[in-house]
Structure 1
Amino acid sequence: MGNRSDNMSCLIDDSFKYSLYGVVYSVVFILGLITNCASLFVFCFRMKMRNETAIFMTNLAVSDLLFVFTLPFKIFYNFNRHWPFGDPLCKISGTAFLTNIYGSMLFLTCISVDRFLAIVYPFRSRTIRTRRNSAVVCIGVWILVLSGGILASLFSTTNVSNTSTTCFEGFSKTTWKTYLSKITIFIEVVGFLIPLLLNLTCSSMVLRTLRKPETLCQIGTNKEKVLKMIIVHVLIFIVCFVPYNSILFLYALVRSQAIENCSVEWFARTLYPITLCIATLNCCLDPFVYYFTSESFQKSFNINAHLKMDSLFKTDAPLTVKNTLPTIQDELSDQAVTNGRDLMSESHF
């Protein structure tokens, strides 16, 4: 394939994407629905303490579920290559996708910044790290992602042909040049580049702070747990979102004909569906962030621990000091948090 000429267009077959989308969306729908419903159940009914991080994680789970609920329509569309659900639902589906992708990145960034403040500035950040401020930030994130999603979905109209109706594809070159390329640049900068820099900066600052022995005494946790949080968080961000947004930028350049090269167009149009599917997997991976970031979530989600505790109270045998010590420590920890003492535990970040 060479450079595109005025009289010849690139003949590229990317029809494999329909089967790929159908299979991946089916898997994401099943796993995402189960894991995020379970996560929301824990956040709403099982967690005794809803701190700042829990607020961000709850909103992240809601964002994932909104996207998951639209997947059955996408699954039908990709397997049948026909959209019979009308233009309004097509716009809602496109908005839900963009809201999930960039809402997830922004909420993950909020969790990363919150962890950074809790570890690097554990005492000075107390006035900032409040549930009220976290709620305000979440409202701001929702306004931002919904505004961008709705703006982009204005162009996700259905295109009717003699044989089928398409949704969220088939935009004209004029639309790409005039509107979609500018929207893509905006969401790439605001929704991807800035969150990526914040995540990397916060993670590096936390790692540097953990090298100081006195830090672990201040935050009341061990280094290995914090490292697990950082690794899981950064891996999900980089694996799910970096490939998609990198290819999306190149894809926008190709579709707007800022780059007119058949080899580059083939590369972009082939990798775009693959990276998009990887990005949608974040719905299934976000619960791992909840588990490794919040100790309260771990305790609430640990069914075996609750079963053991129930059997402990029901037994007729005398309780030993060794058996009762973990329970006493948990109760003291919960009381310390409730009373607002200066003790800091991992559940704060």
Structure 2
Amino acid sequence: MGNHTDNHTCLVDDSFKYNLYGAVYSVVFILGLITNCASLFVICFRIKMRSETTIFMTNLAVSDLLFVFTLPFKIFYNFNRDWPFGDPLCKISGTAFLTNIYGSMLFLTCISVDRFLAIVYPFRSRTIRTRRNAAIVCMGVWILVLSGGISASFFSTTNINENSTTCFEGFSKSIWKTYLSKITIFIEVVGFIIPLMLNLTCSSLVLRTLRKPATLSQIGTNKEKVLKMIIVHVTIFVVCFVPYNSILFLYALVRSQAIANCFLERFARTFYPITLCIATLNCCFDPFIYYFTSESFQKSFYITPRLKTNTLFKTEISLAKVALPMIPEKMGDQAITNGGDLTSESNF
């Protein structure tokens, strides 16, 4: 249980992961395919109004589907413990996994920041929150996650053993030390830590803003609806991605022998498959984000709330038509009249 050296390797039996992966991937494939295809159909064909939020949701659904389409190959591999599909498909499969995990986190962060701007700075953000800017942001996210995914998957070559061929596993210690550990740190910082901080910060500022009754009447937002949205959003992010990325960081340290401790290596290699399976479940949970984000999405499934409230991300339309004409152009950051109360926009 003590530290090991180059001449001693900890014996870790993590063969349970194959059946675990096969079972979880089967469930994710069925549920993820149905829910995301239905969500993409609703977003593209049933929602009439195109906004920056629907652009983020469309890209998130596409990211989920790209990963789901590779799952049959992973299911076959994990149940048979053999990869007969060749090295190129092995690289594509590895890239799709990393692209989905970190693409999902970044697109969820985009939705969180968009919600933050809509509620906290509804007037200032009118020129920022446009479909063109949303498309540019999505393009940047795809470039970033594909670059990281392809870089990491460059090493996911197939390894031919005596009785089988492996894919996306069995990396040597030298590869972990020289390449994979550095790639992992970069992915963790850019794809996890920064999005996590942004999500928590934006959610906390939105909650603080919702405590002010004047703000709710200004932007016409239903407080209960926004609270549900934030709870679902943060829960999916924290439950699916925090455990996986926390263990991945430790896993990279022990595999590269930056930490040479048998107990920690057993711990990391035991819990890494479990947290990875939890992370892949985000494909099934993301449609809940769409449901709580868009009232049009709810109506497309014939579920209409008793009280008709404007969708959070449509508030700028009512503001542009009603509130803005009453505001002098030179007011800037000055107070905005709201039923007799003066509320500065910077305090939203």
Deviation at 1:297, TM superposition (A): 1.2
Instruction: Describe how 1:20-59 pairs up with structure 2 within 5 A.
Output: 20-59=20-59
**Aligned amino acid, residue 108 of structure 2:** L
8 Å contact from structure 2 (residues 219, 319) kept in 1? no
8 Å contact from structure 1 (residues 337, 343) kept in 2? no
Which deviations, in whole Å up to 9, do the C-alpha atoms of 1:21-78 show, x marking residues without a partner?
0000000000000000000000111001111111100100000000000000000000
Aligned position for 1:116:
116
Q: Does 1:261 align with 2:241?
A: no
Rounded to whole Å, the distance in 1 between the matches of 2:59 and 2:322 is 27
Aligned position for 2:69:
69
Rounded to whole Å, the distance in 2 between the matches of 1:101 and 1:140 is 16
Instruction: Describe how 1:215-294 pairs up with structure 2 within 5 A.
Output: 215-294=215-294
Instruction: Describe how 1:280-319 pairs up with structure 2 within 5 A.
Output: 280-302=280-302
Deviation at 1:301, TM superposition (A): 2.5
**Aligned amino acid, residue 299 of structure 2:** K
Rounded to whole Å, the distance in 2 between the matches of 1:147 and 1:187 is 10
8 Å contact from structure 2 (residues 39, 61) kept in 1? yes
Identical counterparts, % of pairs: 83
Which deviations, in whole Å up to 9, do the C-alpha atoms of 1:193-238 show, x marking residues without a partner?
0000000000000011111111111221221111001000000000
Secondary structure (helix, strand or coil) at the match of 1:125 reads helix
How many residues align? The count is 322
Aligned position for 1:341:
321
Gaps of 5+ in 2: 325-348
Rounded to whole Å, the distance in 2 between the matches of 1:4 and 1:59 is 45
Report the RMSD for the aligned CA atoms in angstroms. 2.3
Rounded to whole Å, the distance in 2 between the matches of 1:210 and 1:229 is 13
Gaps of 5+ in 1: 306-322, 345-349
**Aligned amino acid, residue 189 of structure 2:** V
- CA distance change for structure 1 residues 88 and 6 in 2, over 3 Å: closer, same or farther? closer
**Aligned amino acid, residue 321 of structure 2:** R
Aligned position for 2:202:
202
**Aligned amino acid, residue 106 of structure 1:** L
Deviation at 1:341, TM superposition (A): 2.4
Normalization by structure 1: what TM-score? 0.88
Aligned position for 1:104:
104
**Aligned amino acid, residue 139 of structure 1:** M
**Aligned amino acid, residue 68 of structure 1:** V
8 Å contact from structure 1 (residues 248, 272) kept in 2? yes
Rounded to whole Å, the distance in 2 between the matches of 1:224 and 1:61 is 26
Rounded to whole Å, the distance in 2 between the matches of 1:124 and 1:300 is 31
Deviation at 1:285, TM superposition (A): 0.2
Deviates more, 1:55-64 or 1:214-223: 214-223
Deviation at 1:136, TM superposition (A): 0.6
Q: Which runs of 4+ in 1 moved over 4 A?
A: 336-340
Normalization by structure 2: what TM-score? 0.88
Rounded to whole Å, the distance in 2 between the matches of 1:137 and 1:123 is 21
Aligned position for 1:8:
8
